[in-house]
Structure 1
Amino acid sequence: MAKLKQKKARGKKVKAFLEFEELIRSLKLLIALALLITSIAVTAAGFRNLDRPLTNIVVKGKFSHLDQQVLISILTNELQGGFLSLDLRELKLIIETHPWIRQVTLTRQWPSTLTAEVSEEVPIARWGKHAFLNYQGKKLEMEHSRTLKSLPELQSPFVSSEQMMQQYQVLTQQIASTGLIIERLVCDSNGLWSIFTSEGFELIVGRDQLLLRMRRFVLAWNFGLDTRLHAIKRVDLRYPNGLAVSWKNQSLDAPETRTISYIPTVSFVQRPA
């Protein structure tokens, strides 16, 4: 009988102990939850305190064609968020859609300043009458100005602006050793390429084998064609082994064809295709 009572007493103690442990666990969970809520509230309050409105916009860069105030206006209109919440990556993508902005780097400066370092697009050539092209052939829309009038003109209804710029750069390299400058490059609706040089004469390059024909012209130029520079009206490169020169002077107006080989000679060959 006594042993039974002792067993019951021990059972009550164990039960009380387990209940106490459960209570402690519950209290710990409540305390942890309270601490978490407090931490979140403090963090949110701190974030709100740090996420101040951006009240100062600083734009850096060299601008020749882009209006700095226009850029500041674009930045102001696109600001969505405060010092911390502003998505700089998204804003960068929006700003770089402007045709005259090549690249922009955005940085925050405490407490409420946004700095934009801008690289402006550089026009390399005129594209028709109403646009310019950068070095990649990307169109830059703006009205022509006197400061850009000296840029070479690229024109074609046949190929894209990107292809025209690529071909312009290649042909410029080919002709560089002659001292001539390409003032106008045209690819017509039939795919015929023509160059108008700074010395006032035209180079008819043709539809294919452009690099081979340009090398042939450079060779002829170095073999003495340059000595009659001011008399040249037109040079036709569409011959299998040479080129034809038309002269400004009417007495020299009969086309002269030079066959280019290791030893240059002058001869008349078949008409160009």
Structure 2
Amino acid sequence: MGAALWLVGEWEPRLLPIRLIEVEGELHHHSSRLLQERLSERLSGGILTADLEELQSVAEDLPWVGRASLQRVWPDTIKVRVEEHRPIARWNADGLVTSEGVVFRPTGGAVPAGLPLLEGDDQRAPDVTSRYLKWRDDLMLVGHLIQTLSVDPRGDWRVDLVMGTELRLGTGPVEERLARFIASARQIEAAGQPQVVDLRYSNGFSVKWTSRTDSERRAQSDRLARSGNRG
């Protein structure tokens, strides 16, 4: 038995060599040639004995590759199907994150421009991305885009909007607090340019305005007093 196994290991790669590595799937950040080179470097054995699990691991170690599947195609081909990570946002200082909350840190290549920034501990990435996707859609209904969404280790949430406004949501019922801002957003903006909207109150919010003249500040105060909101 031992001799037979030795003969298989010794002669199978020579009799049934792998001559082609065929790559399928869209590879924007890693060319098919690069992937083929990496797999060829780690390839051992012939079509029957090549370790596909090891080769899969090699493929998925490339920074932008999310999933890879391999199959043998008789008589001399390994077919590789690749799916790249599709980031929806930057993650902290050095990473990217997908809509499923998968964090990856590319070591090279261009990072897509114009992505928002999400911040938090890596283990919270699925929760942060889930909230980002929901809040992004909710805020777009009132004409706002998220620039930064962050949660600190204490669970304190903050949203920075592209227009320059910071929303402080705090801990606790953050969904309810964001809904309160969305319901009042047009009223607030009619009164002026908000710099910070602090929603960490039980039934209201406070607003810090960008610097304006005294007459403009008085007009803002009058409008907010009539609206019934606390400014």
Same fold (TM over 0.5): yes
Q: Residues 159 and 212 (structure 1 numbering): CA distance in 2 closer, same or farther, change over 3 Å? A: farther
Contact 2:23 2:80 in 1 (8 A): yes
State whether residues 232 and 245 of structure 1, in contact with CA within 8 Å, keep that contact through their aligned partners in structure 2: yes
The amino acid of 2:139's aligned partner reads I
SS in structure 1 of the partner of residue 55 of structure 2: helix
Matched, 1:235 2:197: yes
Structure 2: 5+ residue stretches without partners: none
Cα deviation for residue 94 of structure 1 reads 4.7
1:151 aligns with 2:115: yes
Is the contact between residue 63 and residue 104 of structure 2 (CA under 8 Å) also seen in structure 1?
A: yes
Which 5+ residue runs of structure 1 have no aligned equivalent?
1-39
State the secondary structure of the residue aligned to 2:196.
Answer: strand
Matched, 1:205 2:158: no
Number of aligned positions between the proteins: 219
Instruction: Tell me how far apart the structure 2 counterparts of residues 128 and 248 of structure 1 sit (CA, whole Å).
Output: 27
Query: What secondary structure does 2:126 align onto?
Result: helix
Give the match for residue 183 of structure 1. Answer: 147
Q: Are 2:215 and 1:248 equivalent residues in the alignment?
A: no
Q: What is the distance in 2 between the residues matched to 1:210 and 1:97?
A: 37
2:75 is matched with 111
Determine if contact 1:99/1:141 at 8 Å carries over to the other structure. yes
| Runs (4+) off by over 6 Å | 254-259
**Is the contact made by 1:246 and 1:253 (CA closer than 8 Å) also made in structure 2?**
no
Structure with bigger helix share is: 1
Are the structure 2 counterparts of residues 242 and 122 from structure 1 closer, same or farther at C-alpha, using a change threshold of 3 Å? same
Name the structure 2 match of 1:225: 188
**What is the rounded CA distance, in whole Å, between the counterparts of 1:59 and 1:268 in structure 2?**
60
What is the rounded CA distance, in whole Å, between the counterparts of 1:168 and 1:86 in structure 2? Answer: 43
| Aligned-pair CA distance for 1:93 | 4.6
Aligned Cα root-mean-square deviation (Å): 3.4
Query: What's the offset of the Cα at 1:121?
Result: 0.6
Cα distance change, pair 202–253 in 1 and its aligned pair in 2 (3 A) = farther
Determine whether 1:265 maps to 2:218: no
State the SS of the aligned residue for 1:76.
Answer: helix
The verdict on how the C-alpha distance between 1:244 and 1:258 changes in structure 2, with shifts beyond 3 A counting, is: farther
- Identity, % of aligned positions: 26
Structure 1 residues 51, 209: CA separation in 2 closer, same or farther (over 3 Å shift)? farther
> Do 2:67 and 2:84's aligned partners in 1 also have CA atoms closer than 8 Å?
yes
CA–CA distance in structure 2, aligned partners of residues 158 and 63 of structure 1: 26
Amino acid at match of 1:169: L
What TM-score do you get using the length of structure 1 for normalisation? 0.66
The residue type equivalent to 1:135 in the other structure is S
Kindly indicate whether residue 68 of structure 2 is the aligned counterpart of residue 84 of structure 1: no
In 2, Cα distance between equivalents of 1:91 and 1:232: 54
- 1:131-183 deviation per Cα after TM superposition (whole angstroms, max 9, x unaligned): 11122222221258765231111123696333332332232233232231111
